[in-house]
Structure 1
Amino acid sequence: MPHPSQHPSDALRLDDPEAFADPQALWDRLLERYPGGLAPVFLSEGVPAWLMLTLEVHQRVLQDPETFARDVDHWRDFHNGVIPETSPLRSIYTKRRNVWNVDGPDHRHYRDIVVRALSNISQTRITTHIDEVIDRVIDTFCTEGRADLVTRYASVVPLLVLCRLYGMDANEGVAVCSAQRRVWDGAEDALHAHAQLQRRMTALAEPRRASPGADLVSELVAAGLDDEEIRDHLTFITAAAHEPTAHTIAHALWLLLGRKGERVQLHSGRTVHEAVNASVWHSPPMHTLIGRFATRDVEVGGYTVAAGDCLVMGFGPAQQLLRRDERLDTETNRSYMVFGLGPHSCPSTGRDLGLALAEKAVQLLDRRLPDMVLVDEQWQGVAEGRLSGVESLRVEFTPTDRIYEGAPWQLSASQSTPKTPTETRPRTPSMRLGQWLRWFWPR
C-alpha cells in the first residue's frame, strides 16, 4: 500500500473557502480521484490529514475506537511542532474532560451521565421551554412586517433553548447568545467573548450544588461531575446542538418558502417534517469535522494511515453517495451520517431533541406569520466553514401583535450586552477564530 512521506502539493485545503464554492462538484472530483474512499488533505498550510469520503470508510474508522481514537493525545502533529503555537487548532483541540474528547471507560462513563441527564428532564418542561423561547423570539420582530429569518430567528432559537435547559434565566440566555454571536462572527473581541462563555458555564455549577433545580446542570451536578467537567460538557453540548440545529431550521424554512414571492403551504405539520428531513439529507449541517487519530499504522481506503495521523469525517461526500443509492429511501430515512457512527455517535435523546426543536421552530413561525413571503433570496450551498446553510432569508409578512407583554427581548449584540471594555480586549487578532471554530469544531 502506498505510504507517502508527504501529501501531494495539490491536495485539498480544508481552510480554503473558495474550494467549497460548489461542494457537490468537489465531492464528485474527490470520489473520482480517490475511489478507495480516503483523500489526503491539509487542514491548513503544512498540516496534513485524511478526509473520509464514503460510508464504508466511516464505518471502518468510527466503529474501531481502539485503532482510531478521539483523544487528541494521539494526534502526532499536535505535539511535534507541525501545528504552530499560534494556530487556532491549539485552542480548539485543547484536551477537555467531556464525552467527546475521551475514549474507553471514561467515554462510557460520561456518555451514560449525559444520556441519563437529558432523559431525566421532563419532556413537558422541555416542550414548554421550546414554545416560550420561540414565541419570545418571534415577538422581537413580528410587529415590523419584515425580518431576516437567519440572523433574527434560526441562529438564536436553538442557543436560547439550550440556555433554558441549563437553568439560565432570560437575561443570562440573551447575554450568552450575544457573546456566542461575537465568537462566530470573528469579532474584534471574539477571544474575550469565548473566555466569557467559558466562565459563565463554570459559574452555573456552584448555585446548583446549593440549590438543585429541574435543569441539565443540576443533573450533571447530581451525577458527581466537578465544575471543570460540567463546563466542558456544556461547551460541547452547546457546540453539538446549536449550530447544526440553526442551519437545519434555516434550510427547512428556505425549502418551504420556495422562490421569491412564493411559498409552500404547510399542512398539519407533515410538510414541516419532510422539509426538516430533506434539509439534513440534502444539505447536512456539517460537511467535514476533525474526528479521529490513528493509534497505529493501518491500511484504510488504499493508503497506509500512520500512527498519529488525523482523520476528518466527511459527512458531505458520504451522504452525497448515499442519496444516489436507489435502495435507500431518503425521503423518510433518518439515519443521517451527520449524527455519527460507533461509540461516539450522537445519542438518540440528543438527536431527537434537535430534530424536534427544528420542526417546532418552523411550525410555530408559520402559525404566527402565515403569509410570509421571501423577498430577497440569498442561498449558498455551503456556508463559510463547511456548515451548509442559508446566508439570509429576508421575508415580508403582515405585522402582528406580540404574545408576551412588556418589552421584547433585545437580541442584537449592541443592545443585549455592553461592549467589551477596551482594556480587556485581546491584543492578538481574533477575526479568524470564529471561522476556524466553524471549520474544525462542531459549533
Structure 2
Amino acid sequence: MTQPRQFPAAPLRLDDPHAFSDPASLWDRLLAEYPRGLAPVYLEEGVSGWLMLTPEVHRTVLNTPDVFAGEVRHWRDFNNGRIPATSPLRAIYTPRRNIWSVDGPEHERYRRALVASLTTMSERYVVGEIGAVADRIVDSFCADGAVDLVARYSGILPLLVLCRLFGMEEDEGLAVCTAMQRVWNYDEDAAHAHAQVQRYMDDLIARRRERAGQDLVSALIGHGLDDEEVRDNLTFLIAAAHEPVAQAIAQTIRLLLVRRNRYLQINSVRTIRETINASLWEAPPLHTLIGRFTTREVELGGFRLAAGDCLVLGFGPAQHAMRRDPRLDLETNRSYLIFGLGEHGCPERGRDLALTMAEKAVQRLDQRLPDMALADDTADDAPAAVIAGVHSLRVRYTPADPLQQGALWKPQSASTPTTSTATPPHGRSTLLGRLFGWIWRD
C-alpha cells in the first residue's frame, strides 16, 4: 500500500555527521524500516527530503528524467522561502552553467563537449601526467621515513593532476591547490581564496582563447563553450573528481596495507586494480548526494511524493544492499552506483579517468616506497553524510632519496585543515564543505 507523504517525529538528519559514525548499522536499520527503498529524512531543520535506499529505486529515478529532474528550479522548498538565504543548501545548489545543473538539450550539449574533450587526451598522456605529479609529491616526503598519506599525498594528488590536464603551469597548480584548501576549510579569507581561483581560471581561459594548447580548456573552447561555461564545467570536474578520487586512493592504500600481511604483492597492477574495486564497494567515497526533484506527483518506494520534492541519492545504503548478494564478486564487479546511471551518470571516459588516477597513484607510491607499513592499527575516519572520509592514514617506511634535487616541493594539503579561527557553519560537515563550497560559493 502506498503511504501518503509523511515524516517520523525524529527522522534522520543528513546535516548531522554524528548520525553516520557507523554507516553499516545505519543502512541496516533504514533498509529494515523502509524495505521498499525510500526513507523520509531532513536535509536541515525544516527541510524535508527522501533518501533512496535500494538499487531498484535508484534505477527508477535516474532513468526517468522527465519525472525526476536534475534542475534545482523544480525543488519546491528552494523556491518557496523555506530554505533561508543563509542556508548552506542555497549556496550549494544555486544553478550554474555546467553539466550537473541543467537538463535536456543544454545538458546534452555540455556532456558532448566534456566527453569529446576528455577523449582528446590519450591514456598514455594522462598516465604520464599522473606519474609526474605523484613523483613530485613523493619527493617532498620520501626522506622523512613517516607521513600522513591523506594530508601529504591522496588529498592533493587528484587536484594537481586535474590542474595539469587543464593546462596550468606547476606554480599555477600549486597556487590553486593552496587556495582551494582555504576554501574547503572555511578559512577567514575563503571568499578571497575562491576569487583567486576564479582569476586563475579566467586567466587560463583567456590565454587559451589567444593560443590553444593540448589541454581540456582548449578542447572545451573548441567545442563552442563560452568562458563562463568553460569555467563552470571545469569547477564541476574538480568537485566531482577530487575528493572522491582522493578517498578512493586512501581507502585502497589502507585496504592493501591491512590485508597484505602484511603485505601481499601490492606492486601487482592486478592486485591494485582489484583492491580499488573492492574498496569502492566496501567504502564508497560518497554516502549521499542531493540530486533529483519530482516534476509531478508520483508514487515511489511505498510513498506518494508531491511535485517539487527533493530526492537524495543513497550510494551508501544502495551498495550496502547490493553487497548482500552472495554472487557479487567485490574485486571484479563494477556495477556499483557511485558513478550514477542514466543521462546524468558519469561518462565512461570520466569514470575511466578517475579509476586510472587512483590506480596509478597507488602503484607509483608503492614503487617509490616499497616497504610501507601502517604506523598504527587504526586510521581516522571522518563521519559525514556525503563523503565517506579517511581523515588520516599514517605510514612508516625506509627513507628514500628524492628523484629530483633542489628545493623541496611542498604544496599544502587540500584535505587537512590548517590553523584557522574561522568557524564552520553549524551542522555542515567539513567534508561536505570541501566537496561543494568550492563550486558554489558566491
| Coarse TM-score class (shorter-chain normalised) | over 0.9
Aligned CA RMSD, in angstroms, stands at: 2.4
| Shift in CA distance, 9/191, structure 1 to aligned 2, threshold 3 Å | farther
For 2:24 and 2:380, how far apart are their aligned partners in 1?
12
CA deviation map 1:397-437 (0-9, x unaligned): 111111123213221269xxxx99xxxx99x9768584543
Query: Is residue 88–residue 433 contact of structure 1 (8 Å, CA) maintained in 2?
Result: no
Q: Residue 259 of structure 1: CA displacement?
A: 7.5
Determine the C-alpha separation between the residues in 1 that align with 2:188 and 2:437.
20
Q: Which residue of 2 aligns with 1:97?
A: 97
Is the counterpart of residue 145 in structure 1 residue 142 in structure 2? no
How big is each residue's C-alpha offset from its partner over 1:383-403, in whole Å with a ceiling of 9 and x where there is no partner? 434312322111111111111
Q: Distance in 2 between matches of 1:385 and 1:55?
A: 19
| Whole-angstrom distance in 2 between the partners of 1:313 and 1:59 | 11
Give the drift of 1:190. Answer: 2.7
Q: Which residue of 2 aligns with 1:412?
A: 412
Change in Cα spacing, 1:380 to 1:59, as seen in structure 2 (3 Å) is farther
Change (3 A) 1:184 1:278: same
**Match in the other structure for 2:252:** 252
Shift of 1:438: 5.1
- Mapping of residues 350-429 of structure 1, within 5 Å: 350-380=350-380, 383-412=383-412
1:92-151 Cα offsets, whole Å, 9 max, x none, are 111111111111111111101100000012332212211100000000100111111111
Asked if 1:437 is matched to 2:437, the reply is no
Instruction: Determine helix, strand or coil for the equivalent of 2:41.
Output: strand
Please report how far the alpha carbon of residue 248 of structure 1 lies from its aligned counterpart in structure 2 after TM superposition: 0.4
Q: In the alignment, which residue of structure 2 is the partner of 1:113?
A: 113
User: 1:297–1:305: 8 Å Cα contact kept in structure 2?
Assistant: yes
Aligned to 2:85: 85
Matches within 5 A, 1:64-79: 64-79=64-79
8 A contact 1:259–1:374 mirrored in 2: no
Percent identity for Structure 1 against Structure 2? 56
Deviation at 1:84, TM superposition (A): 0.8
Question: 2:148·2:394 contact (CA, 8 Å) conserved in 1?
Answer: yes
2:3 matched residue in structure 1: 2
Alignment of 1:196-215 (within 5 A): 196-215=196-215
Partner-residue secondary structure (3-state), 1:213 = coil
Displacement after TM superposition at 1:270 (Å): 1.8
The answer to whether the Cα contact below 8 Å between 1:38 and 1:300 also exists between their aligned partners in 2 is: yes
CA contact (8 A) 1:292 1:311 kept: yes
Tell me how far apart the structure 2 counterparts of residues 328 and 258 of structure 1 sit (CA, whole Å): 22
Give the distance between the partners of 2:95 and 2:140, measured in 1 at CA.
39
Cα deviation, residue 45, structure 1: 0.7
Number of matched pairs:
434
Contact conserved, 2:386 with 2:432, CA < 8 A, in 1?
no
Distance apart, 1:440 and its partner CA: 6.6
Contact 1:378-1:390 at 8 Å conserved across structures: no
Q: Contact conserved, 1:98 with 1:232, CA < 8 A, in 2? A: yes
* Residue pair 2:256, 2:275 contacting (<8 A) in 1 also: yes
1:233 aligns to 2:267 (yes or no): no
Matched, 1:219 2:219: yes
Q: Please give the alpha-carbon distance, in whole angstroms, between the structure 2 residues aligned to 1:49 and 1:438.
A: 22
> Secondary structure at the residue paired with 2:378?
strand
**Preserved contact between residue 296 and residue 307 of structure 2 (Cα < 8 Å):** yes
CA distance in 2, matches of 1:109, 1:200: 25
| 1:11-39 deviation line (CA, Å, top 9, x unaligned) | 10001111111000000110111111000
- Compared CA separation, residues 298 and 438, structure 1 to 2 (3 A): farther
Q: TM-score under structure 1 normalisation? A: 0.92
**Alpha-carbon distance, 1:376 to partner:** 2.7
Q: Distance in 1 between matches of 2:216 and 2:429?
A: 28
SS in 2 for 1:198: helix
Residue 286 in 1 paired to residue 282 in 2? Answer: no
